[in-house]
Amino acid sequence: MKEYLETRMEIYRLQSLRLFARSAGYFAWILLSLFLAFLFLLFGGMMTAFWFSELFHSQFKGFGLVTLLILVVFILLAIFRKALFVNPVIHSVIQKSKEEEEDDAQS
């Protein structure tokens, strides 16, 4: 009985270690992706702002228009955050947990 409990505890420890390692990997990937997306948006926004500035012959109008566009995108993301971010993450977590339960049941 004692060996059985020790074996089960070792299995739980290894499963939690696997979950932690996988979560840490996803977290690192998310941080890197966010950093690259920030750089892309920063330089893309500057490029677009300078293009609009040349088009309108006014830096105020060019950078103002890009700022307005970014604000509109931010507001739309805030309005639709549940449909775009929250629900897909919830479904993904549930699906991953089902897959892990199936993997554990087969082992």
Please tell me the predicted confidence (pLDDT) of residue 42.
94
pTM: 0.61
Average pLDDT score over residue span 14-28: 81
Mean pLDDT of the region 24-28: 84
The rounded distance, in Å, linking the Cα atoms of 39 and 10 is 44
**Greater confidence, 35 or 104?**
35
**What confidence tens digit (pLDDT) does each residue in 28-83 have?**
888 999 999 999 999 999 999 999 999 999 999 999 999 999 999 999 988 988 88
CA–CA dist 65, 59 (Å, integer): 10
User: What is d(CA 49, CA 64) in angstroms, rounded to the nearest whole number?
Assistant: 8
